[in-house]
């Protein structure tokens, strides 16, 4: 059986050209353009997707390395008819302007909240041992790999804080 | 049917305040927002165009000279490679904002390191990228291109020069004076979406999906570059992933994609790499600025001097307009203002968010802080004492002036302590803590604009214009203006933007978009209201519309009797542009921490209060304000383009080395929207807000650094090494 990558529940054959990044595979090969290319060098976070539950920069990995992996993109988190809690919170808090970094911010935040729930410490954490309290500073630290040039950070943090507190469910 | 309205007089009727729908100004979520948060909004490179080939630009590795040969054979045998394009019509620079003519063409002539010289086209992106790296190019280099703005004799800019009274004498006689020289580094727009275009031909008709801010100008620029008629071109930019000035004019990939698609007879997509965007599009010029302030014993200015040196390539008309707000912000009868341009061979200098004030205001407001300390008065009070009654250089009244309100409301909301100010009064562990403030000012711009509004027989409305929404909120505010005027829920208003098939607006830039195109929609809606009023048998002034009905209960659908009612509004600013000095004003307040040992500065909180005319949507307007303040943090602390002194190339050409603020650099930011109606600004009494939020904010941070730790710096950005060097023992 050919190597496959499962994206949002659908299996796709791994591309022949080994140079194809996971990002270009998503955008160019299977038409999922919700994942954005901002820098192609892992510097901006616009291409963030969730692979086997972990957020990664899809520009920094080759599609050929993901045989058998399960990838969730922004299209897999929610749709215009059924947006996720974070997608709704970003809309209400105006957590974006141009919208280009937004899918990456939302994918990143989705996985980041799981990391918080699993008690993974960050540079902003008071302790490496005890359970981590969700705070603005924790969220800012953990989201710092996702750039927003429009400067919507304050609104993005407000949206994530609301969902972290159980809102927009 | 087009209705033309040329505005020669202020419109203080505030008609929109009397409308009954009650949606204008409301903090509605963006109407295109759901598409953006679900990843379904298509940006330029994302249109699924069949049989589309991929192009990658090749750029120069010399500073100045000629391309003597391009060895096509070096790549044409590589897998998938289709063509190497080096057409003489290719553009070597992006067009300046509102240029309305083709940018510099002819890729054989190299004028700066990193200039596009060819395009390699292949079946896939990976093939094109590989081939572009392998293309063999030979040059004849011309040595000695000037690269240092301080090492050439600069050109004066007569338009910007003011000599009024005798500043030298005023400085000598002043009770207090300040004479300081600042420097600012270059900045990059760094919009998150790289510049991209897909070009496709159908016979002699060209369609380009591109990421552009000003389609009305861009279509002319592209037509001239390709030597074809505008009628045969369609430009589409429905979603633009940020612009900040970098997409004002057509950029190199648009023209290259069009030429390549013609040459190979297939659609071609060209997306610039992040490094190419940094190196080939636009930089904000570095500046050197001398500020001279002369004041009497009360701190009232008697003299005002601001001289600036900026740079650009030979042949570029743009000169960073550093002095733009200095001409009118503060009084002082003795004035010297001067702007000079050094011609050097770094990449093109052009518009980056708030050209002029973005770097002019942080230096002026830093100098004002120095003056406040010398006079011994509170810095807020110093500003209040120096607000002029009218334009201090031209015999013109202000259209409206909210600086005093912004200073007072901002100070109150921030909790500004107006007691005696001395640096180094508060320390927590390694950190010095302090506060600072600055004024904001950004000139008001407005331009001719056209939009079509159709009230549909089914009682919904359609707004069409080629105006763009680059994250500014255009989609939403136009739905709100039309909804307010026609008595409709904005959900009933479909807004179509970013297509040159629609009536032409001025595009997004210079913060003029909302007021200009909003006025065109207002003009169209007003005429539709007149038609409806006629049907009811009353005058338009007393026609009340809400929820699709008149006050007497007649529905719009009944009045329309099965017919659509379409009108094109054509707004044109007339004498109002010449009869007033118009500007947005504001005030910034910041609290920072500075590390005693490392010189690192952290912004703990920041607030801005802004007066920019009518607020069209409190949510999107606030977002523009906090976005601008976020840029202020970058200007103050981190953003700096660095150029190689040997060949002039931009060294830190990516987002790892050019430091835009990230989440953890940005605290909670508060914006106070100061209500204002400016009838001389536009018939909807609105001005711009996209840039005001970064016009001076960096000085609030700089002044807070001084208040915190006693380090008075005159060079932006105030990086830890610089802060540490200026820190008193």
Q: Where are the domains of chain A?
A: 4-76, 85-164
Token pair of B651 as six digits: 């060294």
Question: What's the token pair of residue B18?
Answer: 């009397």
Residues B10 and B61 in one domain: no
B697-709 and B357-375 helices, crossing angle to 10°: 40
* End-to-end CA separation in angstroms for chain A: 40
Average pLDDT over residues B544-550: 98
Element housing B604 (H / E): strand B601-611
The number of distinct structural domains making up chain B is: 3
Query: Helix or strand or coil: residue B165?
Result: coil
**B429 and B466, same domain (yes or no):** no
> What value does the mean pLDDT take over residues B400-411?
98
Q: Does B37 contact A87 at a Cβ distance shorter than 8 Å?
A: yes
* CA–CA dist A105, A100 (Å, integer): 9
Inside any domain, residue B367: yes
Output phi, psi for B554, to 5 deg.
-75, 135
Q: Is the peptide bond before B717 cis (omega within 30 degrees of 0)?
A: yes
CA B324 to centroid of chain Cα atoms: 14
Are residue B98 and residue B220 in the same domain, yes or no?
yes
CA-to-CA dists, residue B131 to B128, B338, B573, B608, angstroms = 5, 48, 51, 50
Cα–Cα dist A145/B660, whole Å: 12
Whether residues B427 and B543 share a domain: the answer is: no
A94 neighbors B618 (Cβ within 8 angstroms): no
Q: Is A113 on the interface with B (CB under 8 A)?
A: no
Calpha distance B135→B130 (Å, rounded)? 9
Nearest to A46 by CA among A54, A38, A56: A38
- ipTM of model: 0.98
DSSP B94: P
Residue in A closest to B669 by C-alpha: A154
Residues B477, B567 within the same domain: yes
* pLDDT value of residue A23: 98
- Active site annotation includes B670: no
Question: B663 vs A141: CB contact, 8 Å cut-off?
Answer: yes
Query: Within a domain: residue B682?
Result: yes
DSSP string computed for chain A: ---EEEETTEEEEPPS-TT-BHHHIIIIIS--TTS--S-SSSSS-TTEEEETTEEEEGGGSBGGGGTT-EEE-HHHH--SSS--HHHHHHHHHT--SS-SSHHHHHHHHHHHHHHHHTT---TT-S-SSSPPPP-HHHHHHHTTTS--TT--HHHHHHHHHHHHTT---
**To probe the interface with B, which of A153, A155, A156, A163 has the most B CB atoms within 10 Å?**
A153
- Cα dist from B683 to B2, B22, B461, B615, B635, whole Å: 17, 18, 21, 13, 34
CB contact under 8 A, B39 and A141: no
- Dist. CA B630–CA B625, nearest whole Å: 9
Q: Which residue in B38, B41, B660 is closest to A149 by CB distance?
A: B660
Residue A13 forms contact with B (CB below 8 Å): no
Q: Is residue B305 part of a domain?
A: no
Residue B137 and residue B11 share a domain? no
User: How much of chain B, in percent, has pLDDT values that exceed 70?
Assistant: 100
Residue A2: is its pLDDT beyond 80? no
Q: Token digits for B379?
A: 């810095």
Residue B620: pLDDT over 70: yes
> Does the beta-carbon distance from A36 to B126 stay under 8 Å?
no
Cα within 13 Å of Cα(B433), Cβ side: 7
Element (H, E) at B109: strand B109-110
Q: What number of residues does chain A have? A: 169
Residues contacting B144, CB < 8 A, separation 6+: none
Return the closest-CA partner of residue B92 out of B259, B256, B217. Answer: B256
Question: Nearest Cα to B346, choosing from B634, B509, B150, B87?
Answer: B150
- The whole-number average pLDDT for the span B400-409 is 98
Given CB atoms, is B278 within the 8 Å cutoff of chain A?
no
Residues B535 and B397 in one domain: no
Neighboring chain B residues of A41 at a CB cutoff of 8 Å: 274, 654-656
Are B643 and B562 members of one domain?
no
- Which residues of A are less than 8 Å from B629 in CB distance? 151
pLDDT over 70, % of chain A: 98
Instruction: Please say whether the beta carbons of B697 and B628 come within 8 A.
Output: yes
Beta strand pairing status for B493-496 and B461-464? parallel
Does residue A56 contact residue A26 with C-beta atoms inside 8 Å?
no
Q: Do B241 and A98 touch (CB under 8 A)?
A: yes
Cβ–Cβ under 8 Å, residues B70 and B84? yes
DSSP class of residue B389?
Answer: S
**Domain co-membership, B508 together with B636:** no
CATH topology for A85-164? DNA polymerase; domain 1 (1.10.150)
Residue B186's φ and ψ, nearest 5 degrees, are -70, 155
pLDDT tens per residue, range B699-718: 999 999 999 999 999 999 99
CATH number of A4-76: 3.10.20.30
Interface of A with B in 22-51 (CB under 8 A): 24, 27-28, 31-41, 43-44, 46
Six-digit token string for A96 = 């974006």
Asked if B36 lies within 8 A of A102 by C-beta distance, the reply is yes
Please give the mean pLDDT across all residues of chain B. 98
Q: Is A136 on the interface with B (CB under 8 A)?
A: yes
Give the B window 209-248 contacts with A, CB below 8 Å: 239-244
Nearest beta carbon to residue B39 from set A74, A88, A137:
A74
pLDDT tier for residue B247 given thresholds of 50, 70 and 90 = very high
Per CB-CB distance under 8 Å, the chain B contacts of A75 are 38-40
A19 has a chain B CB within 8 A of its CB: yes
User: For residue B130, what is the nearest residue in chain A, using CA coordinates?
Assistant: A19
Mutate which of B38, B514, B625, B626 to disrupt the A interface (most A C-beta within 10 Å)? B38
pLDDT band with cut points at 50, 70 and 90 for residue B417: very high
- The average pLDDT across B170-179 equals 98
Check A99 against B626: CB less than 8 A apart: no
Q: What is the mean pLDDT of residues B462-478?
A: 98
In the three-class reduction of DSSP (H, G, I as helix; E, B as strand; rest coil), residue B677 is classed as coil
Whether the full predicted model's pTM is greater than 0.95, yes or no, is yes
Q: Is the dihedral of CA A160, B477, B249, B346 positive or negative?
A: negative
Give the pair of three-digit tokens for residue B78: 């590589």
> Closest Cα partner for A106 from A138, A162, A146?
A146
Question: CB distance from B49 to chain A under 8 Å?
Answer: no
Q: Give dist(CA B78, CA B189) in Å, integer.
A: 35
Q: Check if the beta carbon of residue B475 is closer than 8 Å to that of residue B469.
A: yes
Q: Which of B240, B273, B624 lies at the smallest CB-CB distance from A40? A: B273
- C-alpha–C-alpha distance, residues A148 and B539, integer Å: 49
Sign of CA dihedral B101, B106, B109, B111: positive
Q: Do A106 and B37 touch (CB under 8 A)?
A: yes
Set of chain A residues whose Cβ sits within 8 Å of the Cβ of B192: 36, 38, 44, 46, 98, 100-101, 147-150
Tell me if chain B has a CB within 8 Å of the CB of A85.
Answer: no
Collect all residues of chain B within an 8 Å Cβ-Cβ radius of residue A91.
29-30, 33-34, 37
Query: Is the separation of the CB atoms in B453 and B442 below 8 Å?
Result: no
Q: What are the pLDDT digits (tens) for A104-156?
A: 999 999 999 999 999 999 999 998 888 999 999 999 999 999 999 999 999 99
CB contact A82 to B (< 8 Å): no
CB-CB under 8 Å, A100 with B38: no
Of A20, A39, A90, Cβ closest to residue B274: A39
Reported in sequence order, the residue ranges of B456-501 that DSSP labels E, i.e. its strands, are: 461-464, 493-496
Beta bridge partners of B210: B197
Chain A: nearest CA to B702, how far in angstroms? 20
CB contact under 8 A, B241 and A35: no
The beta strand positions in B167-216, using DSSP E, are 176-184, 196-202, 205-210
B178 phi/psi in degrees, rounded to 5? -130, 130
If asked whether residues B646 and B606 sit together in one domain, one would say yes
Residue span of the structural domain in which B111 resides: 44-144+195-280
Q: Could B37 and A37 be called an inter-chain contact, meaning their C-beta atoms sit closer than 8 Å?
A: no
Q: Does A161 contact B at CB distance below 8 Å?
A: no
Chain B residues close to A152, C-beta within 8 Å: 623, 626-627
Burial classification of residue A166, based on how many CB atoms lie within 10 Å of its CB (0-12 exposed, 13-18 middle, 19 or more buried): exposed
CA pair distance B363, B366, nearest whole angstrom = 5
d(CA B165, CA B457): 64
d(C-alpha B568, C-alpha B550), whole Å: 23
The mean per-residue pLDDT over the stretch B532-560 comes to 97
Question: What is the number of residues in chain B?
Answer: 729
Contact residues on chain B for A146, CB-CB shorter than 8 A: 663
At residue A1, the pLDDT reads: 55
Q: Is residue B156 part of a domain?
A: no
- B668 and A35 within 8 Å at the Cβ level: the answer is no
DSSP designation for B664: G
Question: Which residue out of B39, B193, B239, B247 would a mutagenesis test of the A interface target, given it has the greatest number of A Cβ atoms within 10 Å?
Answer: B39
Q: Would the pLDDT of B43 be above 70?
A: yes
How far apart are the CA of B382 and the nearest CA of chain A, in angstroms?
30
The answer to whether B260 and B58 are in contact (CB under 8 A) is no
> How much is the pLDDT for A169?
58
CA distance A103 to chain B (A): 6
Statement to judge: residues B560 and B680 lie in one domain: no
CA B333 to chain centre: 31
B342-358 residue pLDDT tens = 999 999 999 999 999 99
Q: Is B524 found in the same domain as B595?
A: no
> What's the pLDDT at B517?
98
CB A98 to CB B191 under 8 A? yes
Output the domain CATH number for residue B34. Answer: 3.30.365.10
Indicate the residue among B571, B606, B629 that finishes a domain: B571
Q: Which pLDDT score, from 0 to 100, does residue B232 have? A: 98
Q: Which of A100, A141, A161 to mutate to test the interface with B (most CBs of B within 10 A)?
A: A100
């Amino acid at each position: 059986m050919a190597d496959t990558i499962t994206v949002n529940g659908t299996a796709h054959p791994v591309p022949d050209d080994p140079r194809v990044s996971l990002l270009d595979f998503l955008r160019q090969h299977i038409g999922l353009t919700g994942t954005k290319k901002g820098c192609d060098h892992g510097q901006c976070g616009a291409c963030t997707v969730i692979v086997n539950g972990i957020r990664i920069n899809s520009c920094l990995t080759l599609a050929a390395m993901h045989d058998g992996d399960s990838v969730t993109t922004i299209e897999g988190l929610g749709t215009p008819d059924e947006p996720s809690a974070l997608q709704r919170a970003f809309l209400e808090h105006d957590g974006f302007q141009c919208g280009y970094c937004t899918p990456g911010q939302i994918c990143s935040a989705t996985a980041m909240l799981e990391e918080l729930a699993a008690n993974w410490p960050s540079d902003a954490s008071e302790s490496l041992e005890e359970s981590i309290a969700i705070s603005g500073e924790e969220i800012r630290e953990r989201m710092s790999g996702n750039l927003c040039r429009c400067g919507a950070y304050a609104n993005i943090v407000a949206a994530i804080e609301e969902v972290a507190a159980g809102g927009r469910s | 049917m087009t209705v033309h309205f040329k505005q020669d007089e202020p419109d203080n009727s505030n008609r929109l305040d009397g409308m009954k729908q009650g949606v204008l100004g409301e903090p509605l979520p963006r109407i295109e927002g759901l598409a953006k948060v679900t990843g379904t909004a298509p940006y330029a490179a994302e249109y699924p165009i069949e049989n589309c080939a991929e192009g990658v630009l090749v750029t120069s590795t010399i500073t100045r000279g000629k391309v003597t040969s391009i060895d096509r054979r070096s790549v044409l045998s590589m897998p998938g490679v289709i063509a190497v394009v080096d057409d003489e019509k290719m553009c070597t620079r992006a067009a300046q904002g509102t240029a309305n003519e083709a940018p510099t063409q002819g890729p054989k002539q190299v004028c700066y390191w990193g200039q596009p010289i060819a395009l390699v086209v292949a079946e896939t992106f990976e093939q094109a990228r590989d081939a572009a790296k392998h293309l063999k190019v030979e040059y004849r280099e011309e040595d000695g291109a000037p690269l240092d703005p301080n090492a050439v004799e600069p050109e004066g800019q007569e338009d910007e020069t003011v000599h009024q009274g005798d500043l030298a004498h005023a400085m000598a006689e002043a009770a207090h004076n300040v004479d300081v020289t600042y420097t600012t580094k270059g900045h990059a727009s760094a919009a998150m979406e790289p510049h991209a275009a897909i070009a496709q031909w159908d016979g002699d008709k060209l369609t380009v999906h591109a990421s552009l801010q000003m389609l009305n100008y861009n279509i002319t620029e592209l037509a001239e570059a390709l030597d074809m008629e505008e009628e045969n071109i369609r430009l589409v930019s429905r979603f633009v992933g940020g612009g900040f000035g970098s997409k004002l004019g057509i950029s190199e990939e648009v023209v290259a994609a069009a030429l390549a698609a013609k040459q190979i007879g297939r659609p071609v997509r060209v997306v610039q790499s992040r490094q190419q965007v940094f190196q080939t599009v636009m930089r904000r010029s570095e500046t050197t600025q001398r500020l001279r302030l002369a004041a009497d014993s009360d701190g009232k200015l008697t003299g005002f001097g601001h001289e600036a040196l900026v740079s650009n390539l030979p042949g570029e008309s743009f000169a960073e307009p550093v002095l733009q707000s200095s001409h009118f912000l503060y009084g002082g009868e003795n004035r010297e203002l001067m702007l000079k341009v050094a011609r050097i061979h770094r990449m093109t200098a052009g518009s980056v968010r708030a050209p002029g004030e973005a770097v002019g205001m942080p230096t002026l407001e830093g100098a004002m802080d120095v003056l406040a300390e010398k006079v011994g008065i509170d810095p807020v009070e110093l500003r209040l004492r120096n607000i002029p009654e009218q334009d201090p250089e031209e015999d013109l009244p202000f259209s409206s002036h909210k600086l005093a309100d912004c200073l007072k409301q901002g100070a109150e909301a921030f909790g500004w302590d107006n007691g005696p100010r001395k640096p180094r009064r508060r320390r927590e562990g390694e950190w010095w803590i302090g506060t600072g403030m600055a004024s904001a000012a950004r000139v008001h711009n407005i331009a001719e604009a056209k939009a079509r509004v159709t009230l549909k027989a089914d009682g919904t409305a359609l707004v069409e214009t080629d105006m763009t929404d680059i994250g500014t909120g255009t989609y939403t505010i136009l739905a709100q203006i039309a909804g307010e005027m026609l008595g409709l829920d904005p959900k009933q208003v479909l807004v179509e933007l970013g297509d040159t098939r629609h009536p032409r607006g001025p595009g997004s830039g210079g913060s003029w978009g909302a007021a200009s195109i909003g006025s065109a929609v207002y003009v169209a809606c007003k005429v539709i209201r007149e038609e409806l009023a006629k049907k009811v048998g009353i005058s338009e002034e007393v026609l009340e519309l809400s929820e699709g009905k008149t006050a007497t209960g007649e529905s719009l659908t009944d009045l329309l009797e099965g017919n659509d009612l379409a009108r094109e509004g054509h707004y044109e600013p007339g004498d109002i542009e010449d009869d007033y000095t118009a500007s947005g004003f504001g005030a910034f307040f910041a609290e920072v921490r500075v590390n005693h040992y490392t010189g690192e500065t952290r912004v703990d909180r920041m607030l801005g209060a802004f007066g920019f005319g009518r607020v069209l949507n409190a949510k999107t307007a606030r977002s523009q304000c906090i976005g601008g303040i976020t840029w202020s943090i970058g200007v103050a602390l981190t953003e700096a383009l660095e150029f190689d002194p040997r060949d002039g190339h931009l060294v830190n050409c990516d987002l790892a080395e050019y430091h835009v603020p990230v989440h953890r650099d940005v605290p909670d930011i508060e914006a106070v929207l100061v209500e204002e109606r400016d009838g001389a600004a536009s018939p909807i009494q609105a001005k711009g807000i996209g840039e005001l939020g970064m016009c001076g904010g960096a000085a609030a941070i700089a002044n807070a650094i001084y208040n915190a730790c006693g380090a008075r710096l005159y060079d932006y950005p105030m990086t830890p090494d610089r802060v540490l060097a200026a820190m008193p023992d």
